[in-house]
Chain A
């Protein structure tokens, strides 16, 4: 699998994660899908911890994200570096801010993000079991496990675990496993649903 396909498929994970905010709890996909229609926006802070065998302690990144249905997203890292991914009105842009200087990531793979948004409406309805990339299973109490269907993707990401909050519509954390020793945990906090988000959040850096 080459880097463009990989990054395209990884970025497809973002709507998976985000759209899970739209689900309430149930023990079946039918129940999950029922609550999928009521969420129009999400804002949240996150702490990302990268675990690697080479690291004595995880590498911690912090950030925040905003999502406005149907197709606007801001995924922003605030530390250890400032990086912002913006998806709005069909345009995908990524920026890094360093020493107060803004630099635009011009890598070609951003163009593949256009495809991402076409999948969001599917996931927003909670149709994870219809997701062509991942096999989805509900396991135990408030946990969904996604396993890649494609062998190439499975060599890169072995599985994704979604841990759902007791509060309906909220995700506590996402774990993305590359291997047993290499995984990323994203914990969400201060999540707010259905509060109006200004359009400038998705336009301005």
Chain B
């Protein structure tokens, strides 16, 4: 295999006839030849030009071959030297071999012997040079891996790891602008940047408008985008292709066919010279993508830097994934902890037992969603001065601990108001003022009813879903449709009670939207119609508890296969 570059031979001999003959012969073989008539001239030439081989007479007037050999080795210890000898100087020739000459040939020599000796010497030199380069590469790669390995071992903190990885990659490419993004369920998140604002990462779009960043992170492929002399940009989709392209062109980048990316903001064209995208991939998935912009000329000329970048990403992808999973696990644990706390708060606030109120058969339940949804109900005891017992049902806006805390405030406030205010209307008005002033970004549906003797309810509905009443006489279901303003909207809102006269056998249902908004596997909502149907189909002799448990069972069946999204809460009153 002939090398791409012409090899240069230096012929050193004091006899002009030999010099010219050798030069002619070697040029015929395709080598470039320079000649020197003495050791001194040879050394001068070696200082000013590069050679692949020195072919030298061993006996010359101004030095013997051994001195010249030593001087040549001092300049370049790898440069092969072939000694030409006459029979009389065989001893010296052998000594020369001992001192590092590649070979000797006896004058007069056959041209074939000359040819093969020269060829072997040049091949050996090339192999030694390549070897040295490879070793140097290996050392650099080893060094990089060592560095990266050290960092990976000691950093589980995702952000730290990413920062350090980006620094390594910028160092390798001699660039000052870069970023690392991590793949998410949909799209990606920008995790660390250097020299570029996170909002400006989306530099290129593909024909059709798709973001290049979206495409690359979805595909998990490397890519190199380069600005061409005509101002446009070209894209080589495959990292390996880019590698080959760099290697083959030895610094001159040939544009490969492929989609041409367009710079989104033409005004920064002068600032964007190139962009290298390298994915982080484990065996299972693409973890992320590094973007390095404006790699230095030095880096761009040596194809190795892309290989080095790939080295870093391949090596660290697994560690990155591990750190990411660790973070995800931590966050899940925090969330689970919050869920447990919120459920605990709600459980403590809800009444521990159902009250015994004469004339009323009561069932009440709250089945919380996994992420507690803020439903609450309570039963307030009768007062000494003849004040009726009361019930309340409400749905605090929001979820989790924040909702649970507001729930606690509302529970405490209502109990306090109930101590000194007589009517549900007054209590609700007071509560509304409290909510409007304390939580100015929340609206809260709230319903309170005093259970008077004589089967009378005094009800204040503040923006809550309308209760349903099933007549014990004819089984028909009607909604109690009067309502006042939801809590929290207007501190001065006026609240009016509604008096409901009930009869024996009547059934009253108070419920939150967790009941009617319950979704089935097929996407249907339970809805008010189903609730009315349920009420209508109850038997008057069933107790509140039986009906309540049946409703719960119905809802459970309906919502099977779908995670319960909101608290399911209802109170059933059966009038004795």
Whether A associates with B in a native complex is no
Chain B residues close to A by CB (< 8 Å): none
